[in-house]
Structures are given as C-alpha cells and as structure tokens.
A and B are shown apart, each in its own frame.
Chain A
Amino acid sequence: GAGVSQSPRYKVAKRGQDVALRCDPISGHVSLFWYQQALGQGPEFLTYFQNEAQLDKSGLPSDRFFAERPEGSVSTLKIQRTQQEDSAVYLCASEGTANTGELFFGEGSRLTVL
C-alpha cells in the first residue's frame, strides 16, 4: 500500500511478556519516528531513525524498550517484560526528504497489558 503500515493493530499481552511491534514506512522515506499515545493524550516521542541510524532514543521510557531499523526500511519496536503502564497506542510515522515536517502516521498498534 501507499501509506505507513503497522502490525499488529491490536495486541494483548500478559504482564512480563515480550512484544514486538512492526512498522513498514512509506517506500523511500528516510526518517522514521515512534510515538506512544495514551488515551486522551497527544503522542509522546520515543525514538527517531534516519535510514538505519537511530539518531535519537531519548524518549524511550526504560531499557525495556528497544527499537531497530536494520536495513533502513522496516522498523521494529520491542518491549521486554511488559508492564501495565506500557498499555498505549504505539504510532509509527515516516517523513520524506522534503523536510516539511509533515509526518505520515500509521494507524498504530494498540497494546493492552493485563
């Protein structure tokens, strides 16, 4: 498809389980961002890639969160030993080379930790 694709759309995990969330950005988009959005809040920045390089991971809330983009295209956000406070929608966005700041968001992965 032409847009940003994320999977799974919904994930239910038991506390302590590891989860992996996938993002397939728009083809050719260099920049890729991960955001976390709690209910009723705006998206909170997690991490940013330019091609395969992770240039900023200052928003990752703990060392249980890890993101990678090994070939500069698909990205995976991994959360180890999930906690209830990790329940949120995880949004991926990509940006082309125009540097307009226009981010194209995927529909997100809704994670519920029981």
Chain B
Amino acid sequence: GQNIDQPTEMTATEGAIVQINCTYQTSGFNGLFWYQQHAGEAPTFLSYNVLDGLEEKGRFSSFLSRSKGYSYLLLKELQMKDSASYLCAVRVLISSGSARQLTFGSGTQLTVLP
C-alpha cells in the first residue's frame, strides 16, 4: 500500500509564504498531485509532478524529489481565501496498468490570519 504523511495543521499570515510538506512511501509511483479543498466543497486540482523538480503555476509551486519520496507545495502572497485543506495524493500503477486511482493523504488544514 501507500503511506502518505503531511502535517495536520498550519497557520500563516496574509501576504506571507507557506510551505506544506508531504512524504510518501510507495512502489509503482506514477505522479504526485496537490488538491485544495475548502470546507464543505469538492477538492480542486492544483498541481501535478511526475518528474523531479519544481512546477510553478502563479502563486502556487510544487516540488518533487522521487528519490526522497518528498514533495512540497509552496504558496506565495497568501490571501485569506487560501484558508483550506491541502491534500497531497500519489498515483500508482499496478502491473496490469489499469489501476490509476489517487491515494490521498489526510490533508493539511491551512489557516491564513489577517
């Protein structure tokens, strides 16, 4: 199976930068994903890393190191609306190639304070 760890809670100030870490242990790794989920709403896709390195998309960046089983999501210029749960997820391929579901971590609840 997969084991995904991320901090339960984080707090940061509006305008600041925050880094949310995620570590995973898995075989058949096929991609690392970050989703954002506001309370009572559906998760929404933020980023996807399959190769090592940094992917930047506006205020959000995501980093992956496959050898270390490590990723982080970097949020810059924090806004109040960024208060949400951030879910790290891993995709694994099994030998048949047919299983492509994401396995999610428990999520990091980020609170942005004024």
Whether the Cβ atoms of B41 and A107 lie closer than 8 Å is: yes
- Least CB distance from B39 to A in Å reads 10
1/0 per position for B92-114, CB-CB distance to A under 8 A? Answer: 00000011111111110000000
Q: Which residue of B lies closest to A58 (CB)?
A: B99
Whether the Cβ atoms of A100 and B48 lie closer than 8 Å is: yes
Size bracket of the B interface: 20 to 34
Whether the Cβ atoms of A42 and B87 lie closer than 8 Å is: yes
Size bracket of the A interface: 20 to 34
1/0 per position for A16-59, CB-CB distance to B under 8 A? Answer: 00000000000000010101000011111100101000011011
Q: Which residue of B lies closest to A108 (CB)?
A: B42
- Least CB distance from B104 to A in Å reads 3
B105: A residues at CB distance < 8 A: 42
* B7 CB-CB contact with A under 8 Å: no
CA distance A48 to B35 in the complex (A): 19
Listed from nearest, the 8 A-B pairs whose CB atoms lie closest are A42-B104, A105-B42, A102-B45, A45-B101, A55-B98, A56-B99, A42-B106, A107-B42
Main secondary structure of the interface of B (DSSP, over half): strand
Interface residues of A (CB under 8 A from B): 4, 31, 33, 35, 40-45, 48, 50, 55-56, 58-59, 91, 100-108
Whether the Cβ atoms of A48 and B102 lie closer than 8 Å is: no
Q: Which residue of A lies closest to B96 (CB)?
A: A55
Whether the Cβ atoms of B48 and A56 lie closer than 8 Å is: no
A100: B residues at CB distance < 8 A: 48
* B72 CB-CB contact with A under 8 Å: no
A50: B residues at CB distance < 8 A: 98
* B33 CB-CB contact with A under 8 Å: yes
User: Can you list 10 contacts pairing A with B, beta carbon distance less than 8 Å?
Assistant: A4-B42, A31-B100, A48-B99, A48-B100, A58-B99, A91-B42, A100-B48, A101-B91, A102-B33, A103-B35
